[in-house]
Amino acid sequence: MRHLIQPPGPGEHRVRGRDCALPLVEHISAYHSLNSARITWHRHRRFELIFVLDGATSYECRDGRTVEVTGDRFVAIPPRCLHRGLHDVRTPASLCGVIFDPRTAAARRNTPFTARDLGWLTAQFATHALEAHPMSAELHRQVVAINHLIRDWQAHHEAAVATALRLLTCNIIFEAARQLTGAHPVHGKVAVDAALAHLQAHFHEPLPMTELARATGCSRARLFQLFKENTGLTPNDYLQRLRVTKARELLADPARTITDVAFATGFSSSQYFSNVFRKYLGMTPTQACRQR
């Protein structure tokens, strides 16, 4: 395997830990893209935390394990785990990544952590690795803030920005680990599973959200709440992403026209189909056809 360390991709901004005097961290990254891209095989010697603010992505490991991470969720990937994107990053997407190692000798420098804290962090992320977890409102706020700080650092290498980066990075790592200590019951999982099954079976049909609510036995408002809590997406956003994914598969067939594919995947017109396709994949159906 030649590519073991993932290089920065288009739309990605990175700050190295050594540049902001934080040995605990290898680098912190902020990623925003309007173009779908598949993440290639890579691994790190340290833990990798991936926070998805919007959009979605999924990872597969060499040992066969997979994990789906949608908006407002995060995942910890353990050290030396060879992994890649199972599918394209679904766009538009905003992600934040922190690669760090609580086990290094200098990990405590410029952090509020004790040796015991670092041991606890290691245990939490190792125990709950490769599981998608919802972000609390506070963790979400911190991840949004650090995305802005990363861009500030690249524009102005100021001491005040470096200090803020160190503090906020430590807060994010700690808050993510703290969330893993409590149970995260999947409320309404039966209703959400029923909604997902209904969307998969009927994505090609006109599908009002009131019909989806009836199929799950929930009110429309309750279904939206449960669906968002358990998938990080609204039902309509999930449906549009599903339709676009299916459409891209059909467009690989030279015998299918764009209009044919639009109607086959539940879109009311080829123009609407083109607008939604571009929104989520960063290209038009015509451009996708050229990639056949």
Tokens, residue 120: 């606890």
- Asked whether the domain spanning 189-290 has the same topology as the one spanning 12-181, the reply is no
Distance CA 292, CA 289 (A): 6
Q: Which of 67, 37, 32 is nearest to 53 (CA)?
A: 32
Q: What CATH architecture is 12-181?
A: Sandwich (2.60)
- Listed in sequence order, the residues at least 6 apart from 267 whose beta carbon sits closer than 8 Å to its beta carbon are 243, 247, 273, 276
Q: What is the structure's pLDDT at 1?
A: 37
Distance of alpha carbon 245 from alpha carbon 266, whole angstroms: 12
pLDDT value at 134 more than 60: yes
Residue 9 confidence (pLDDT): 57
For the record, the structure tokens of 180 come out as: 């893993």
Domain residue limits, the chain: 12-181, 189-290
Above pLDDT 70, what percent of the chain?
91
Look at residue 8 in the predicted model and tell me its pLDDT.
Answer: 55
CATH of domain 189-290: 1.10.10.60
Q: What does the pLDDT average to over 147-156?
A: 85
- ∠ at Cα 202 (200, 208), nearest 5°? 115
- pLDDT, tens digit (0-9, with 9 covering 90-100), for 39-74: 788 899 999 999 999 888 888 999 888 898 988 899
Please enumerate, as own/partner, the contacts of 240-244 that have beta carbons within 8 Å and a separation of 24 or more: 240/276, 240/280, 241/56, 241/90, 241/280, 242/199, 242/200, 242/203, 243/203, 243/204, 243/267, 243/276, 244/276, 244/277, 244/280, 244/281
pLDDT over 90 at 219, yes or no: no
Beta strands in 135-176 (DSSP E): none
The per-residue b/e assignment along 214-250, b for 16 or more CB within 10 angstroms, e otherwise, is: ebbebebeebbebbbbbbbbebebbbbbbbbbbbbeb
